[in-house]
């Protein structure tokens, strides 16, 4: 898992590249979505692209100056938290899971 942030000088946005390598958690995945507060937790909004080597990736342009919470949703069933996040927040669902937080 990885997140790469590139702050744009021409616009108040940050180019964020999300990447999930072909690991045990994703090797058999058919689809992975990025679900977070920036897209109203809509599992159908941002589908990651699957590469031939099994890696999933997606570039998003997000507003600078904010902290966002998100998680990955694998095959509409399995929630995964980004390991390289800037921080973590309670999901609010009464469980032990955490949302990843990135600062933009």
pTM for the model stands at 0.90
Q: What is the pLDDT of residues 14-69, one digit of tens each?
A: 999 999 987 766 778 999 999 999 999 999 999 999 998 889 999 999 999 999 99
DSSP string, 40-71: TT-TTT-BPEEPTTS-EEEEEEEETT-EEEEE
Contact predicate 64/104, CB 8 Å: yes
pLDDT at 92: 76
Determine whether 16 is exposed, middle or buried from the number of CB atoms within 10 Å of its CB (0-12, 13-18, 19+). Answer: buried
Please classify residue 5 by burial: count the beta carbons closer than 10 Å to its beta carbon, then call 0-12 exposed, 13-18 middle and 19+ buried: middle
pLDDT in tens, 79-89: 999 999 999 99
Domains of the chain: 2-103 (2.60.40.10)
What tokens does 60 get? 């998003």
């Amino acid at each position: 898992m990885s997140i790469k942030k590139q702050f744009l000088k021409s616009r108040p946005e940050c180019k964020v590249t999300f990447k999930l390598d072909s690991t045990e958690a994703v090797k058999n995945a058919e689809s992975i979505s990025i679900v977070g507060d920036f897209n109203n937790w809509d599992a159908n909004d941002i589908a990651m692209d699957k590469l031939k080597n099994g890696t999933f990736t997606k570039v998003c342009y997000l507003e600078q100056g904010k902290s966002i919470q998100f998680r990955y949703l694998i095959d509409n069933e399995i929630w995964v938290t980004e390991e390289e996040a800037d921080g973590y927040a309670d999901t609010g669902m009464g469980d032990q899971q955490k949302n990843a937080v990135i600062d933009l």
